[in-house]
Amino acid sequence: KKKKKKQPFKRKPNMQCAVVLLALVAAISAVPVAPGKNWAVLVAGSNTWGNYRHQADVCHSYQVLVSHGFDKNNIIVMMYDDIAHNSENPTPGVIINEPNGPDVYHGVAKDYTGADVTPANFLKVLKGDKAGLQGVGTGRVLESGPEDNVFVFFSDHGGPNIIAFPTELLQASQLNDALKYMHTNKKYHELVFYLEACESGSMFNTLLPANINIYATTASDPTHSSYACYFDQKRGTYLGDVYSVNWLQDSDKANFKSETLLEQFQIVKKETNTSTVEQYGQLALSSETLDKFQAGATPLKALAAPATVPHPTMDAVSQREAQMTALKLKLAGATPAQRPVLMAQIAELQQRYTQIESTYMAIATLVAGDSASVHFGAAVAPTLAHLPCNEAAVQAFHDTCFNLGQVEYALKYAMTLTSLCEAGYPTNTILSAIRQTCNWN
């Protein structure tokens, strides 16, 4: 007899098990994923009373975030902090960012001040390098992760492929390398960067990838100045910067749950008619609403703004001309006793301006000969191909000729060096001309 082939055992469907399994899957799906946190880094890169406006911008941005419920423990502030209690401040302990505006300094928790305001420390904060900042300031850094959003705001002077700090420069390559590091190491879900500086577009143009979840807007394009605004006769300085004031005043009154980053960009671009506001990076992120980056869970009461605020462009002036213009405005309102001192300051500053211009012209002449005038002060956007030359030349000028973090007028002609690089002159030839011209150091 043939043996019957043994049939494989078949289990009858167990409906009870299936129901339990489905219920388990549904329960797991129903467990809410912990929402990411919002983090912010706010930086004023300058110091001295004449640069009042940059710290005012940053203090105002702190108040905007806090008034919209941002967790103070997640805000890192870097500012020199030599303005609020400056001997020139007629209202000690108070900083304002618009005419007759509210005090924006009170309550600002400062993490890095004075000599700790450096490019290296800023990059360590972004990268979350706690060990590198041990014993420096509060030592706080971004502790954000892959579910968290990060908002960065920087206000100061700038130039082609650089933004300035009191004694040092931050190169575009250094900043973008840090941002790429953050992406690679999952330091954020999405990151938004607002940058106030002259030629600020050059920090991201052709450099910031469009696929690493970063959206940036800048006060100007790669070849033009950004503008200071709101000269205050009582304080003898400018209170704000046009791009910064425009986004801050918009955020003061915006509905964060409905207004998008793109809408804010469009408002700021329209209102900032003194420079060309630009956007870079992953532009699709601009569809996100403001609350994803500038707010927290529980909004508080916003600062009381003055009933009427003049438009920031009413007296706007190029950041490079702000120091001289402020002196002339002070002179116009001076008493007879004050006039001689102010006139002497203006004459001294004009002499410095002439020295700066002649220095750039001398460098251009050594490099380009009869073609020097073509490059002097030319508005030439730096390109990726000549980035190493441009960064090396600007850094050498800063180290050898004038501190670009302190002498903002020297930044006005920094594109002379960019033009020489873009024309293809060897980097070593340009560096040699800088050393030869600035041999007083």
Q: Which of 40, 70, 233, 61 is nearest to 155 (CA)?
A: 61
In the numeric block, the tokens 């190493």 are attached to 388
What's the chain's Rg over C-alpha atoms?
A: 26
Q: Please tell me the distance from the alpha carbon of residue 278 to that of residue 222, in angstroms, as a whole number.
A: 9
DSSP 83-150: STT-TT-SSTT---SSTTPPP-STT---SB-GGG--HHHHHHHHHT-TGGGTTSTT-------TT-EE
* 133 close to 111: Cβ distance less than 8 angstroms: no
Q: Please tell me the distance from the alpha carbon of residue 136 to that of residue 159, in angstroms, as a whole number.
A: 28
Q: Please tell me the distance from the alpha carbon of residue 361 to that of residue 21, in angstroms, as a whole number.
A: 79
* 98 close to 309: Cβ distance less than 8 angstroms: yes
Q: Please tell me the distance from the alpha carbon of residue 217 to that of residue 263, in angstroms, as a whole number.
A: 12
Counting Cβ atoms within 10 Å, is residue 130 exposed (0-12), middle (13-18) or buried (19+)? middle
Q: Please tell me the distance from the alpha carbon of residue 222 to that of residue 205, in angstroms, as a whole number.
A: 7
Q: Which of 353, 397, 367, 400 is nearest to 161 (CA)?
A: 397
In the numeric block, the tokens 């205050």 are attached to 232
* DSSP conformational letter for 136: S
Q: Please tell me the distance from the alpha carbon of residue 95 to that of residue 85, in angstroms, as a whole number.
A: 9
The answer to whether 398 is a known catalytic residue is no
Residue of 54, 60, 68, 198 with catalytic role = 198
Task: Give the Cβ contact number of residue 162 at 10 Å.
Answer: 31
DSSP 250-305: HHHH--TTT-BHHHHHHHHHHH-TTS--EEEE-GGGGGSBTHHHH--SS--PPP--
Token output for 376? 């002097």
Q: Which of 352, 424, 340, 359 is nearest to 397 (CA)?
A: 359
The answer to whether 157 is a known catalytic residue is yes
Q: Please tell me the distance from the alpha carbon of residue 313 to that of residue 326, in angstroms, as a whole number.
A: 15
Residue of 157, 224, 375, 398 with catalytic role = 157
Q: Please tell me the distance from the alpha carbon of residue 178 to that of residue 170, in angstroms, as a whole number.
A: 11
Spatial CB neighbours of 77, under 8 Å, sequence gap ≥ 6: 42, 43, 58, 62, 108, 109, 110, 111, 112
Q: Which residues have a catalytic role annotated?
A: 157, 198
